[in-house]
Amino acid sequence: MTQTPQPVRGTQSLIGEEADRFHAVVAAFDRVRRLYGFKRVEMPVIEPTAVFARTMGETTDVVSKEMYSFEDRSGDSITLRPEFTAGICRAYLSEGWQRFAPLKVATHGPAFRYERPQKGRFRQFHQLDAEVIGSAEPAADVELLAFGAQLLEELGLSGVRLKLNTLGDAASRDAWRAQLVEHFSAHRAELSEDSQARLDKNPLRILDSKDPRDRPFADSAPPMVLSAEAEDFFGQVRSGLDAAGVAYEIAPHLVRGLDYYRHTAFEFVTDQLGAQGTVIAGGRYDGLIEQLGGPHTPAVGWAAGIERLAMLIDAPEAEKLDVAVVVEDDRARTAAWFALGLVRKAGLSAEVVSTGSIRKRYDRALKKGPSVIVVLGKLDRGGLSVGIRELGPLTLVDVLGGVKWPSLDES
Q: How far is the CB of 305 from ligand ATP (least distance, A)?
A: 2
Is 257 near ligand ATP (CB under 6 A)? yes
Query: Is the CB of 68 or the CB of 337 nearer to ligand ATP?
Result: 68
Q: Is 323 helix (H, G, I), strand (E, B) or coil?
A: strand
Q: x-or-dash pattern for ligand ATP, window 77-106, by CB under 6 A?
A: ------x-----------------------
**350-353 and 323-327: which strand pairing?**
parallel
Is 129 near ligand ATP (CB under 6 A)? no
Contacts of 280 (CB under 8 A, 6+ apart): 148, 151, 152, 267, 268, 302, 303, 304
Q: How far is the CB of 259 from ligand ATP (least distance, A)?
A: 12
Q: How far is the CB of 365 from ligand ATP (least distance, A)?
A: 40
CB 224 within 8 A of CB 173: yes
Among the residue ranges 238-246, 290-298, 299-307, 391-399, the one whose residues contact ligand ATP (CB under 6 A):
299-307
Contacts of 63 (CB under 8 A, 6+ apart): 52, 53, 56, 57
Q: How far is the CB of 59 from ligand ATP (least distance, A)?
A: 14
Is 375 near ligand ATP (CB under 6 A)? no
- The arrangement of strands across the sheet holding 77-80 comes to 46-48, 77-80, 68-71
Contacts of 260 (CB under 8 A, 6+ apart): 55, 56, 57, 285, 287, 288, 291
Position 177: which residue type? R
Is 259 near ligand ATP (CB under 6 A)? no
149, with CB counted inside 10 A (0-12, 13-18, 19+), is buried
Q: x-or-dash pattern for ligand ATP, window 208-247, by CB under 6 A?
A: ----------------------------------------
The three-point CA angle 257-310-65 to 5° equals 30
Q: How far is the CB of 257 from ligand ATP (least distance, A)?
A: 5
Among the residue ranges 118-126, 136-144, 146-154, 342-350, the one whose residues contact ligand ATP (CB under 6 A):
118-126
Instruction: Report the distance separating Cα 387 and Cα 17, nearest Å.
Output: 33
Is 131 near ligand ATP (CB under 6 A)? no
| Residues of this chain that bind ligand ATP (CB under 6 A) | 83, 113, 115, 120-122, 125, 127, 257, 276, 278-279, 281, 303-305, 307-308
